[in-house]
Amino acid sequence: MPVERTANAVWTGTLTQGSGVVTVLSGATPELPVTWASRTQRSEGKTSPEELLAAAHAACFSMALSAGLAEAGAAPTRLEVGATATLDTTDAGPTVTKIALKVRGAVPGLDAAGFTRAAEAAKAGCPISRALAPSVSIVLDAELL
């Protein structure tokens, strides 16, 4: 059965002088302020679509990696995942061109090669990665602790 999740945005004003708020309907976070400056200059306590995309990708990847490791009989005790989304100017305009995933994991009984294989499989298989590929380059830095 399909699962749907909803977020809303309200924007007031012009692109460069205006501002907005993003709300997730689950209530998991308060309203998140967004501005053009938070996308292209300094965040100053505001978020951006790219930061939200990076957060979604980090969460999705960590779940996919945890599931894959557990299915292979090597349940992790801790996974630390960071994701950095790159917004760059292309011929089409501002575009998310890359997401860099960085994972550090504690997985008893697993060697580094096995961890890297599991991380690569999670990178390819997580729903956010599949939504972004192939238009966004996804790079991975995986290290077993």
pLDDT bracket for residue 42 (50, 70, 90):
confident
Residue 1 lies in a domain: no
pLDDT at 96: 97
Statement to judge: residues 36 and 67 lie in one domain: no
Statement to judge: residues 55 and 113 lie in one domain: yes
pTM: 0.94
- For the segment 85-102, the average pLDDT, to the nearest whole number, is 96
Statement to judge: residues 26 and 79 lie in one domain: no
Residue 98 lies in a domain: yes
Domain count, the chain: 2
- For the segment 54-73, the average pLDDT, to the nearest whole number, is 97
pLDDT at 1 over 90: no
Statement to judge: residues 30 and 55 lie in one domain: no
Q: Please state the length of the chain.
A: 145
Statement to judge: residues 33 and 69 lie in one domain: no
Report in angstroms the alpha-carbon separations of 55 from 9, 48, 59: 17, 11, 6
Percent of the chain at pLDDT > 90 equals 95
pLDDT at 85 over 90: yes
Percent of the chain at pLDDT > 70 equals 100
User: Strands 137-144, 32-34: parallel, antiparallel or unpaired by DSSP?
Assistant: unpaired
- For the segment 124-136, the average pLDDT, to the nearest whole number, is 96
- For the segment 117-126, the average pLDDT, to the nearest whole number, is 97
- Spatial separation of the C-alpha atoms in residues 46 and 11, rounded to whole Å: 14
Buried b / exposed e along 80-92 (16+ C-beta atoms within 10 A): ebebebebeeeee
pLDDT at 52 over 90: yes
The average confidence (pLDDT) of the chain is: 96
- For the segment 24-44, the average pLDDT, to the nearest whole number, is 92
- Spatial separation of the C-alpha atoms in residues 50 and 41, rounded to whole Å: 13
Query: Which DSSP letter does residue 89 get?
Result: E
Q: Residue 73: left if φ>0, alpha if ψ -120 to 50, beta else—which one?
A: left
- For the segment 47-71, the average pLDDT, to the nearest whole number, is 97
- Domain of residue 32 covers 7-40
Statement to judge: residues 119 and 88 lie in one domain: yes
Residue 97 lies in a domain: yes
pLDDT at 4 over 90: yes
